Structure 1
């Protein structure tokens, strides 16, 4: 098996153990254009759950300090809804990364 294929697949699978670090290192260290392409795609796909989690944390932080006792129930419902959406998107991104890793190796 080709080392470039393994490194490209590892960039996608690294969402489980080094989401930003490995694709970024691969992008700057490896000179092959195809590996750089896969590392960039992996980095972007790893950024999606991270950006959503930052937005969710910001929304939660603002909501906790701006909600008073009268409307806290609505805020909690919205937070659970957003967390469910975040979970679905994150799981979709993880599955997509594994599919891409399988396609690269195959």
Structure 2
């Protein structure tokens, strides 16, 4: 059960990227599950935090090419975070249970 909750925290990027990891982190009595829920929450928040300076730079640059470049960079960051969460969710499911 603990592996399922931990992996669902990572897989929640598909359906509830912030809500499920927060709930699992706050309500879990198991340190293992809480650790993975906290990591999943931060990995879901990372693209949002990376978007703040990218949006600022895109707005202040004034160049269309710069805006497109920043959007491409954001897409790469978001895609990397998406793949990272899927990989960690699978790894947690494959760990031996204790």
Q: Which runs of 5+ in 2 are unaligned?
A: none
- What residue number does 2:81 align with? 93
Gaps (5+ residues) in structure 1?
A: 68-74
Aligned residue-pair number: 94
Match of 2:4 among 3, 6, 9: 6
Instruction: Specify the alignment match of 1:76 in structure 2.
Output: 64
Query: What TM-score, normalized by structure 1, do the two folds share?
Result: 0.80
Hey, what's the Cα distance between the residues in 1 that align with 2:32 and 2:4?
A: 12
Partner residue, 1:51: 49
Secondary structure of residue in 2 paired with 1:19: coil
* TM-score of the aligned structures, taking structure 2 as reference length: 0.86
Where does residue 70 of structure 1 map in the other structure?
none
RMSD across aligned C-alpha pairs, in angstroms? Answer: 1.4
Which is higher, the Rg of structure 1 or of structure 2? 1
